[in-house]
Amino acid sequence: MPKRYDSDLQISFHHDAAPGDSVPADILATTLQSLQSVVRLLGASHGGAGSSGAGSTTAASDARYAITCHLPVPGSYAVPVTIAGPQNTAMADGGLDVLGDLRALLRATQDQRDEDLGKLFPAPAARAAAARAVLKMVPGPRSGTRLMIEYSSGERIFAPDPGTRRFLKSLAVRPAGEAERSVVGHLNKIDFQKQRIRLRHPPSRRDLSCSYPPRAEPMLVDCRRDLIQVVGEITLDLDEVPKGIRRVDSINRVDVSPIRLSGFKSGTKRVRAKHPMVFQPIIHNAYKHFALRDPPFGIHLLSVTREELEANLLEELDSIWRHFARADDADLMPDARELKQQLHNAFNTA
């Protein structure tokens, strides 16, 4: 096997139905090609292209940040990968920085921290392009194939789950710097005659105005000076700070009371909590979304509304129960076996 460098990555694939040292060719090709796109976008951002545009690359950066695959190694289907090669100077004059940025990008994606992605790709168009490239790396849910990326030292940096895919989709389809779906602010004025409200966006202290449907008026009266959420089309300035509300789909009271869970449904079975579980929502991401941070089982969720957050939580629990709690120990890595034990300690099937 060729010499492996400290900067090597190892990409492995695990198939739920047929574990073994193989992977469908189309999944392997798509993942590697998409990883190449991600690395080149990061390389372009080092050269300044990612700071103002969509992360375009050049022939020079294509060569400089080319990835190289080595012979597969046993363990599901594992492919060692380096950025450039020993004959290339990329590792000495920028490749290591890109490798560090790749780790930061994948970890920020894993933890659903789009503020960290913004540091790597300040331009919305470049960030959306990176999200699309990372999303293409991840095998589809119907493929039955799970992806994992580690350093050659064994340090895991990326193991996407269904929540990761939802997060990436939300970034990939977001209009580039033009609009958001949601904004949260303090209601500080109601004009009953014109049926308009004004709210203040806490991070920017900017006042935003919009019309409201008559059916929302009793709720608005009850929420004076409280936080409310406007869902619709929110225009943004160049710094991605809300500057106006173009269209209103709904106006909601902000509810961050705990989500109390007694169980969830997985297939035809009911999975019951041995003790009631509590998940605490927060308002996150510059007062745009509801989120769960550091809840049990390593679940990280970001959703536009509280209702979506609750639905996504049930979907996520169903997914990790099917993929981990019902899996054979022999098919799981040590940390996955630990997660399996945590799930069985917390839940019983009805």
Mean pLDDT of 143-166: 85
The answer to whether 287 and 202 are in contact (CB under 8 A) is yes
Mean pLDDT of the chain: 81
The predicted pLDDT at position 58 comes to 40
Give me the pLDDT at residue 23, please.
83
pLDDT confidence of residue 48: 44
Q: What is the mean pLDDT of residues 147-166?
A: 85
Structure pTM? 0.57
Selected residue with higher pLDDT from 3 and 239: 239
Over the stretch 323-343, which tens digit does the pLDDT of each residue have?
A: 889 888 888 888 888 999 999
What is the spatial distance between Cα 157 and Cα 30, in angstroms, rounded to a whole number?
19
Which tokens sit at 290? 């509801």
Q: What is the pLDDT of residue 219?
A: 93
SS3 sequence of the chain = CCCCCCCCEEEEEEECCCCCCCCCHHHHHHHHHHHHHHHHHHHHHHCCHHHCCCCCCCHHHHHHCCEEECCCEECCEEEEEEECCCCCCCHHHHHHHHHHHHHHHHHHHHCCCHHHHHHHCCCHHHHHHHHHHHHHHCCCHHHCEEEEEEECCCCEEECCCHHHHHHHHHHHCCCCCCEEEEEEEEEEEEECCCCEEEEEECCCCEEEEEECCHHHHHHHHHCCCCEEEEEEEEEECCCCCEEEEEEEEEEEECCCCCEEEEEEEECCEEEEEEEEEEECEEEECCCCEEEECCCHHHCCEEECCHHHHHHHHHHHHHHHHHHHHCCCHHHCCHHHHHHHHHHHHHEEEC
Segment 286-299 shows an average pLDDT of 79
Q: In this model, does residue 176 exceed pLDDT 80?
A: no
pLDDT at 96: 54
Q: Give the relative orientation of helices 96-110 and 25-46 as an angle to the nearest 10 degrees.
A: 120
The answer, yes or no, to whether residue 85 has pLDDT greater than 70, is no
Residue that wins the pLDDT comparison between 39 and 198: 198
pLDDT at 24: 84
Over residues 61-74, mean pLDDT: 73
Using the predicted structure, report yes or no on whether residue 156 has a pLDDT greater than 50: yes
Which of 104-113, 115-124, 175-184 shows the lowest mean pLDDT across its residues?
A: 175-184
Q: Among 23-37, 116-130, 308-322, which is the least confidently predicted range?
A: 116-130
Give residue 50's pLDDT: 37
Band (pLDDT 50/70/90 cuts) for residue 193 is very high
Mean pLDDT of 52-67: 52
Contact assessment for residue 347 and residue 325, using Cβ atoms and an 8 Å cutoff = yes
Nearest to 122 by CA among 164, 175, 177: 177
